[in-house]
Amino acid sequence: MIHDFVSSRIFLLALTVGCYVAGVAVYRRTRIALLHPVLLSVVALISLLHAAGVEYGSYAEATELFSLLLNMSVVALGYLLWEQVEMLRAHALSILVTVVVGSLVGIGSVVGIVYIMGADEIIAASLAPKSVTAPIAVAVVEPFGGIKAITSVVVIAVGIFGSIIAPRMLDRLGIADPVARGLAMGSAAHGIGTARAIEIGAVEGAASGLAMGLMGLVTALLVPLLSDLLF
């Protein structure tokens, strides 16, 4: 009976929300980068579900509501883009160059590091689309035999790392232009970086959201085109 209750939809939804709220509270109190609320909640959920014997499939089915809400939040970015459409149009060339260069650097750097460290082609394929959202990244690596679990974990880690480091790094580099800051965060840290950019400002959020979408498109095109060189 206890296992049935722990596996129930209501309990798992409440547990997920509770873990994230607790993670936010801890992060706001400590401001320690390694205690990012997404990272804390993921670790807590994995530990609790494993201890309770709840399979991932059961958890994913019970929490489909969050997937629906996440999809709606991504669509809602369209309104933010619409509000800043004139500004984005004025920077069209900069945006295009940033996304293409960012995608090339992101793919090339991680694949180069993989081979320098002695890993094989499967790991390289798994990590190549590290800077785009998880659904796109998983779809990109699948035809090349990439390990989807590795891809998903690395994508989340990159997003968390980018959302924490990017604002501080941009400050240190003296990059104050909101469009440039948003493009950098969206190109490097996809959805999690975009969420952080929206907190910083509307222009940063719009530029980051656009960069995130274009980054996914460009990466999905470049990885297959460059696969003979990369893998």
Over the stretch 91-132, which tens digit does the pLDDT of each residue have? 888 888 888 988 898 888 888 998 998 888 888 888 888 888
Give backbone dihedrals phi and psi of 8, rounded to 5 degrees, phi first: -70, 155
Q: In this structure, what token pair is assigned to residue 104?
A: 């090339």
CB 62 within 8 A of CB 9: yes
CA angle in degrees (0–180, nearest 5) for 168-171-177 = 125
Q: pTM (2 decimals)?
A: 0.77
- Residue from 208, 205, 165, 202 nearest 186 by CA: 208
pLDDT (tens digit, 9 = 90+) per residue, 54-95? 887 888 888 888 877 776 766 776 776 777 778 778 888 888
Q: In this structure, what token pair is assigned to residue 59?
A: 């958890």
Beta strands in the chain (DSSP E): none
3-state secondary structure of 177: coil
End-to-end CA, the chain: 50
- Whole-number pLDDT of residue 30: 86
Could you state, in order of their start, the residue ranges of all structural domains in the chain?
A: 2-62, 77-230
